[in-house]
Structure formats: structure tokens, C-alpha cells
Structure 1
Amino acid sequence: MKQIFIVEDDAGIRELIEYLLISEDYQVRSFPTATDFKEGMSKGRPDLILMDIMLPDGNGLGYVQGPKQSRSLVTYSDPAYVC
């Protein structure tokens, strides 16, 4: 089963996306903050990341094109969509 990580601070949006993906038989882990996402990445890598740009404790876009320490979390081989 494919695993998808959702990083979204708005609980309503996060829960809706999670519901839709679970109903399509994806394994989903969701995180409300960049800090929680970092912890989740240390426990396993997903097949896809859906990430909000404006998070309360970080910029989602920075994980894709930011400083080297952030890029180590999300590599170019990791499919990531920043919304």
C-alpha cells in the first residue's frame, strides 16, 4: 500500500484530504506542523508528500528548495507537491 504524508496546519483541510486518500486505500500520515513532519520523516519515508507552503513553524517550499539541512529531509527522488 502506498504511503502519503500530508503536512497542513488547517485541521479541516488536512482531515478532508486524509479522508479522501484513505477512501482510495492509501496509507496516510498527517502532520499539522513542520516539526511534526520532521519527526515523521525520521521514522520512515512516504511515497508522496503533500505539503502546505505556509506552516506555523516553517515554509513548506523551503523543504524542497531550501537550505541543505532541509533538503536532506526531502530529496529530489521524493515526490513532493507543495500547495
Structure 2
Amino acid sequence: MPKRVLQGVVVSDKQDKTVVVKVERRFTHPLFKKTVRRTKNYHAHDENNQFKVGDIVWIEESRPLSKLKSWVVREEATKG
């Protein structure tokens, strides 16, 4: 089974080797047919502490690294 890959924005880098990434998903509401936005925060492993707040990054699913972390930052997404 392939690993999931998500794109999001770093919202916190205060922890050592960890960033919090906000991922937004959009879908059409089944009854009202309106586009709905839902966000979720993921704790991701950042080995070199290279990503800062506001960076757009790709995160990849991995084995559990701690109680909250089971994602790894793969790379920074290109802007524009």
C-alpha cells in the first residue's frame, strides 16, 4: 500500500525536530451542493529544523515516531 502524501502550511515550529502542518481539504456538501473547507493539523518530523512558519510543505505518512508524530516532512512545495 503506498504512503499518503499531503500538502499543507507550517503553522508552528516551536518544538525540536517537529513542525505542525495545517492541511486543508475541500469537498462538495452532499445535500447543499456547496463547497466546504475542512482543516486538520498534523505533527510531522523535521530532522534538521529547516522549515519555518508559513512554508508550504509536502508531508508523507510513516511509521509512528512518537505519540503524535506519524508523518515526515518530505520537501518544500514550490511557491507559484
Settle same-fold status: TM greater than 0.5.
no
Query: Which structure dedicates a bigger proportion of its chain to helix?
Result: 1
Structure number with the higher strand fraction is 2
TM range (shorter): under 0.3
**Which structure has the larger Rg?**
2
